[in-house]
Amino acid sequence: MRLRHIEVFHAIMQAGTISGAAQLLNISQPAATKVLQHCEIQLGLKLFERIKGKLHPTPEAHKLFAEVDKLNRDLQSVRRLASNLKNHPDEAVRLASTPTLSITVVPTALAAWRKKFGNVHCTLATHHTSEIVNALLLGDVDFALSLYDPCHPNIASEPLIRGSMTAIAPLGSWAKNLDNTALPVADLPKNLIALDLDDHLVSRVMDACEEQGLSFTSYTVVQTYLLARTLVELGAGAAVIDPFTAATSDHSKVQCRPLSPNVPVDLYLLTVKSTPLSRSARAFVECIKEAGTEFIARTS
């Protein structure tokens, strides 16, 4: 099948009519009909039956569509990447980060960066790490931030800042002189506000606890560090969260302590390998380092 055959066949399968397919592709109905006829001749297959004036895909068309749909998605990705390469201005900064970083380090870094690059266009997208990898490979963003190294063969991962998973508890849970001192995992409150075990940082904390034969019962389970922090501020329990979220806690309501044994947390810069950053993007990265370092200092 030629490229035009794929596009027309896919559009007809989606729209259900030749006229609908022509509208999707912004071509005339006779042109769409001609392409379909040529496609069927080339394949030696009847792809559609006209019954009572309506097109009905043949069994062969349904089987073919599964593969054609994959090809069409790949084609759209290639076009999208080509458009990004063509239209991406050199002095624009396009950043993606995970939700945790988008509400902690990135706003502080962006505010500092804006003082030096007030006229440079900047877009910030918030995605989970798997989506970030796709955005980088498609050229939708120039660089990204994550607390997780995706270990992708085409993605360069550079640790910028290191902190530690941090226990936070309502004010008065520990003596004041213990603030920011290491808390043995054995001394964690047994009824913690828990996070989804699919989170790799949470898994590391659980591994550290299991190594010491510890287990915990949680009656409250949440999906984000931000929500866990908010619940602790409201006095609903204690939690173990990343250091950047912990740094944004209301310290008139909570206390923070790193764990012992230490559970490290790295903030990673993610880029496409062998793709250098622009001057303004590199300056943004430096602002992220500075902001992240300040955040870590608040909990250590």
d(CA 110, CA 103): 11
Q: How confident is the model at residue 179 (pLDDT cuts 50, 70, 90)?
A: confident
Q: How confident is the model at residue 110 (pLDDT cuts 50, 70, 90)?
A: very high
Digit-coded pLDDT (tens) for 11-30: 888 888 888 888 888 888 88
Beta carbons within 8 Å of 138's beta carbon, 6+ residues apart: 77, 80, 81, 84
Characterize the bridge pairing of strands 192-195 and 220-222: parallel
Choice between 166 and 32, residue whose per-residue pLDDT is larger: 166
The answer to whether 282 and 145 have CB atoms below 8 angstroms apart is no
Q: How confident is the model at residue 296 (pLDDT cuts 50, 70, 90)?
A: very high
Digit-coded pLDDT (tens) for 224-249: 999 999 999 999 999 999 999 999 99
d(CA 284, CA 109): 7
- Examine the pLDDT at 84 and tell me if it is beyond 70: no
d(CA 269, CA 131): 15
- Examine the pLDDT at 88 and tell me if it is beyond 90: no
Sign of the Cα torsion 263, 267, 271, 277 reads negative
Q: How confident is the model at residue 96 (pLDDT cuts 50, 70, 90)?
A: very high
Digit-coded pLDDT (tens) for 32-57: 888 888 888 888 888 888 887 778 88
